[in-house]
Structure 1
Amino acid sequence: MTLFRRFSDHIGAALDALAARDAIPAGLDRSAVSVEPPRDAAHGDIATNAAMVLAKSAGMNPRALADLLAVELGALDEVVEAGVAGPGFINLRLADDSWREELALIHDLRGDYGRSTMGQGRRVNVEYVSANPTGPMHVGHCRGAVVGDALAALLEYAGHEVIREYYVNDAGAQVDVLARSVHMRYREALGEEVGAIPEGLYPGDYLIPVGEKLAAEHGDRFAAAPESAWLALFRAEAVGAMMDMIRADLAKLGIHHDIFSSEAELQAAGKPAAAEKLLREQGLVYDGILEAPKGETPEDWEPVELPLFRSTQFGDDQDRPIRKSDGSWTYFGADLAYHFQKSETADELIDIWGADHAGTVKRIKAAVAALTGGKTRFDVKLVQMVRLLKNGEPFKMSKRAGNFVTLADVVDEVGKDAVRFTMLTRKADAQMDFDFARVVEASRDNPVWYLQYANARISRLRRKAADAGIVLPAPAPERLRANELALVKLLAQFPRIVEAAAFAREPHRIAFYLADVAAAFHAWYNLGNDDSAARIVLDNDPELTATRLYLADGIGQIIRNGLQLMGVEALEEMV
Structure 2
Amino acid sequence: MNLFADTRAAVIDCLDQMVSENTLPEGLSFASVTVEPPRDAAHGDMATNAAMVLAKPAKMNPRMIAEALAEKLLAHPHIAVADVAGPGFLNMRLVPEIWHGVIKAVLGDSNFGRSSLGQGQKMMVEYVSANPTGPLHVGHTRGAVFGDALARLLDYAGYDVTKEYYINDGGAQVDVLARSVYLRYLEAHGQEVAFPDGTYPGDYLKPVGEALKAKVGDAFIDKGEQFWLEEVREFATEAMMDLIREDLAQLGVVMDNFFSEKSLYGTGLIEKAIGELDEKGLIYRGTLEPPKGKVPEDWEPREQTLFKSTAHGDDVDRPVQKSDGSWTYFAPDIAYHYDKVQRGFDQLIDVFGADHGGYVKRMKAAVSALSDSKVPLDIKLTQLVKLYKNGEPFKMSKRAGTFVTLRDVVDQVGPNVTRFHMLTRKNDAPLDFDFDKVLEQSKDNPVFYVNYAYARVNSAVSKASEFADVADTTLVGVDLSGLTHDAEMTVIKKLAEWPRLVEIAAKGHEPHRIAFYLYDLASDFHALYHQGNADEALRFVQEGDSDTTQAKIALIRAVAIVILHGLGILGVTPAEEMR
- TM-score of the pair, normalised by structure 2: 0.94
Query: How far did residue 537 of structure 1 move?
Result: 1.1
Query: How far did residue 301 of structure 1 move?
Result: 4.8
Mapping for residues 424-463 of structure 1, pairs under 5 Å: 424-463=423-462
Q: Is the 8 A contact 1:121 1:159 kept in 2?
A: yes
Mapping for residues 495-510 of structure 1, pairs under 5 Å: 495-510=499-514
Worse-superposed segment, 445-454 or 32-41? 32-41
Q: Distance in 2 between matches of 1:456 and 1:438?
A: 20
Q: Distance in 2 between matches of 1:65 and 1:120?
A: 34
Q: Is the 8 A contact 2:2 2:500 kept in 1?
A: no
Partner of residue 321, structure 2: 323
Q: Which amino acid aligns with 2:479?
A: A
Q: Which amino acid aligns with 1:66?
A: A
Deviations 1:129-150 (A, max 9, x none): 1000101101111111111111
Asked if 1:145 is matched to 2:149, the reply is no
Query: How far did residue 401 of structure 1 move?
Result: 1.1
Asked if 1:128 is matched to 2:127, the reply is yes
Q: Which amino acid aligns with 1:519?
A: S
1:309–1:441 Cα change, 3 Å: same
Q: Is the 8 A contact 1:514 1:562 kept in 2?
A: yes
Partner of residue 226, structure 2: 228
Query: How far did residue 415 of structure 1 move?
Result: 0.6
Q: Distance in 2 between matches of 1:397 and 1:191?
A: 28
Q: Is the 8 A contact 1:322 1:333 kept in 2?
A: yes
Asked if 1:168 is matched to 2:167, the reply is yes
Query: How far did residue 294 of structure 1 move?
Result: 5.8
Worse-superposed segment, 252-261 or 15-24? 15-24
Query: How far did residue 45 of structure 1 move?
Result: 0.8
Q: Distance in 2 between matches of 1:217 and 1:569?
A: 40
Q: Is the 8 A contact 2:348 2:377 kept in 1?
A: yes
Alignment counterpart, residue 288 of structure 1, candidates 248, 263, 286: 286
Mapping for residues 416-427 of structure 1, pairs under 5 Å: 416-427=415-426
Partner of residue 180, structure 1: 179
Asked if 1:531 is matched to 2:530, the reply is no
Q: Which amino acid aligns with 1:122?
A: Q
Query: How far did residue 26 of structure 1 move?
Result: 4.0
Q: What secondary structure is seen at the aligned counterpart in 2 of 1:82? A: strand
Q: Which amino acid aligns with 2:211?
A: K
Q: Which amino acid aligns with 2:565?
A: N
Q: What secondary structure is seen at the aligned counterpart in 2 of 1:221? A: coil
Q: Distance in 2 between matches of 1:104 and 1:471?
A: 16
Q: Distance in 1 between matches of 2:503 and 2:534?
A: 38
1:211–1:90 Cα change, 3 Å: same
Q: What secondary structure is seen at the aligned counterpart in 2 of 1:538? A: coil
Mapping for residues 55-70 of structure 1, pairs under 5 Å: 55-70=55-70
Q: Is the 8 A contact 1:427 1:508 kept in 2?
A: yes
Q: Distance in 2 between matches of 1:304 and 1:182?
A: 37
| Count of matched residue pairs | 572
Q: Which amino acid aligns with 2:501?
A: I
Mapping for residues 32-431 of structure 1, pairs under 5 Å: 32-110=32-110, 112-194=111-193, 196-292=194-290, 301-312=299-310, 318-344=316-342, 345-431=344-430
Q: Please give the root-mean-square deviation of Cα atoms over the aligned residues, in Å.
A: 2.0
Q: Distance in 1 between matches of 2:296 and 2:468?
A: 84
Query: How far did residue 297 of structure 1 move?
Result: 6.0
Worse-superposed segment, 227-236 or 246-255? 227-236
Q: Distance in 1 between matches of 2:417 and 2:162?
A: 26
Query: How far did residue 212 of structure 1 move?
Result: 1.8
Q: Distance in 2 between matches of 1:265 and 1:398?
A: 33
Q: Is the 8 A contact 1:391 1:438 kept in 2?
A: no
Q: Which amino acid aligns with 1:277?
A: G
Q: Distance in 2 between matches of 1:295 and 1:328?
A: 27
Q: Is the 8 A contact 1:351 1:379 kept in 2?
A: yes
**Unmatched tracts of structure 2, length 5 or more:** none
Q: Which amino acid aligns with 2:34?
A: S
Asked if 1:560 is matched to 2:559, the reply is no
Query: How far did residue 501 of structure 1 move?
Result: 0.4
Q: Distance in 2 between matches of 1:105 and 1:306?
A: 62
Query: How far did residue 397 of structure 1 move?
Result: 4.9
Q: Distance in 1 between matches of 2:32 and 2:257?
A: 36
Q: Is the 8 A contact 1:2 1:105 kept in 2?
A: no
Q: What secondary structure is seen at the aligned counterpart in 2 of 1:321? A: strand
Query: How far did residue 342 of structure 1 move?
Result: 1.0
Query: How far did residue 358 of structure 1 move?
Result: 0.9
Q: Which amino acid aligns with 1:306?
A: Q
Query: How far did residue 496 of structure 1 move?
Result: 0.3
Q: What secondary structure is seen at the aligned counterpart in 1 of 2:481? A: helix
Task: Quote the sequence identity (%).
Answer: 54
Q: What secondary structure is seen at the aligned counterpart in 2 of 1:32? A: coil
Query: How far did residue 326 of structure 1 move?
Result: 3.6
Alignment counterpart, residue 547 of structure 2, candidates 543, 546, 556: 543
Q: Distance in 2 between matches of 1:236 and 1:219?
A: 17
Query: How far did residue 274 of structure 1 move?
Result: 2.0
Q: Which amino acid aligns with 1:406?
A: T
Q: What secondary structure is seen at the aligned counterpart in 2 of 1:256? A: coil
Q: Distance in 2 between matches of 1:5 and 1:574?
A: 37
**Unmatched tracts of structure 1, length 5 or more:** none
Deviations 1:96-151 (A, max 9, x none): 011011111111113x1100001111111111110001011011111111111111
Q: Distance in 1 between matches of 2:297 and 2:382?
A: 38
Q: What secondary structure is seen at the aligned counterpart in 1 of 2:304? A: strand
Q: Distance in 2 between matches of 1:573 and 1:40?
A: 35
Query: How far did residue 76 of structure 1 move?
Result: 0.7
Query: How far did residue 70 of structure 1 move?
Result: 1.5
Q: Distance in 2 between matches of 1:374 and 1:448?
A: 41
Alignment counterpart, residue 493 of structure 2, candidates 485, 489, 493: 489
Partner of residue 30, structure 1: 30
